[in-house]
Amino acid sequence: MAKENDVNENIIQQVKAMEGVVMEVCGTFLWLSGETYEHRKEIKSLGFRWAAGKQMWFLPPEGWHGRRGKGWSMDHVRSQYGSQSVDEDELLALSA
**Helices marked H in the chain — which ranges?**
4-16, 40-45, 74-81, 91-95
Give the C-alpha separation, 41 to 48, whole Å.
10
pTM of the model: 0.77
Percent of the chain with pLDDT over 90: 40
The three-state secondary structure class of 13 is helix
Q: Sketch the domain layout of the chain as residue ranges.
A: 4-9+21-95
What average pLDDT is seen over the chain? 82
Higher per-residue confidence, 4 vs 42:
42
